[in-house]
Amino acid sequence: MDSTAQSTFIVDLAAYAQNLRVIREMIPRECAIMAVVKGNAYGHGSVAIAQRALQAGAAMLGVATVEEAIVLRSASITAPITVLMQPPADAFPEAIENNLRLVLSDIDAAEKLGELARKRNRVIPIHCKVDTGMGREGLDPESVIAAMRHVTRVSHIDIEGVATHFSSADDIDDPATANQLRIFKQVLRQFEKEGIPYEMAHAANSAAIVGHPASAFNMVRPGLMTYGVWPTDTPPERMALRPVGRWESKIVLIKELPSGWSIGYGRTYTTERPTRTAVIPVGYADGYKVPFGNNADVLIRGRRCPVRGRVSMDQIVVDVTEVPGVTAGDPAVLIGIDGSEQITVSELAKRARTVGQDILSCIGPRVHRVYVN
């Protein structure tokens, strides 16, 4: 770990590439992979992950914003990049300049983009978003064909893809995904009936790749599972995915507290016996979430040590009474394996009543990234 870093997120690029190979084995041979690297590659570092994704066979990269795409272009990444959220119109010039693909959800945006592209003598690929039940972005299934007929007459715009997004694919028993898939297939049939050309159709996120293989079409958009986190509520007994990130820090202080001594803001924990504690320089400003207070463990010398008291902005306190020989400078594992114990992203997500994407993407810039393999 960097001597000045309070904590380090160690990113295993070989594990990331292995996870892409696992996904490749789960989808049809003709199906392309759009590696989703939005949110700084779910906290792992978008440039390094994007480079490894392309080396491992990804055909395209997916980001959330034009700004995220420009970060990749600035790193000399020339591969196709799709901006998955419709950007504001004032971002269109940068999108055109950086040769980005845009997912659009309305005619006005397509017309504005086409006019700007015409002035620059560029043809911009777009992906038409269809709202099949997410209730967020996307054209209504009943109006999408009329809208796309209009867009085909907009110069300097190429309808490269048609896309939708599932609301609850992580719940395999929820019938909503099957219904969304049915609607999307109907829309694609209408595209073909009307002779509206497109090159690719994509709907499947990580959870749909696992639970709804019929949604693969000819491109998938894996995100969470590429980082080694199983995307549904029913993980397999033998996990083929490998965790990509390991978050660790070091103990900076050991303290002996008497029985009846309170710990942290709000005095939410009071010792019930003489207690040895360790102070670790990680807090919610680093992405270690407030709900972990009195509700999570840290691994020290291969043992689980409970967090005591609230998570502060910059520090947590853990109980090391049961771990012999602990000293300042010992490693403390927040996510990862230590001996026979492991703290996973999924475990922390359950403790915080959130999702794995939230746990990973909130790991902040103060946390030093180190890339291995």
Catalytic residue IDs? 38, 265
Q: Which two tokens stand for residue 249?
A: 């820090």
**Contact yes or no for 34/60 (Cβ under 8 A):** yes
Q: Where are the alpha helices (H) located in 143-287, listed in sequence order?
A: 144-152, 176-194, 206-211
The Cα 76–Cα 74 span in angstroms is: 5
C-alpha dihedral over 119, 124, 130, 135, to 10 degrees? -70
Tokens standing for 363?
């790991």
Which residue, 126, 151, 130, is CA-closest to 139?
Answer: 130
Please give the helix or strand (H or E) that residue 114 lies within, else none.
Answer: helix 107-119
| Long-range own/partner contacts, residues 185-192 (CB < 8 A, 24 or more apart) | 186/141, 187/130, 187/132, 187/141, 187/144, 187/145, 187/162, 188/162, 190/144, 190/145, 191/145, 191/148, 191/162
CB atoms within 10 A of CB 92: 21
And the tokens for 105? 């959800």
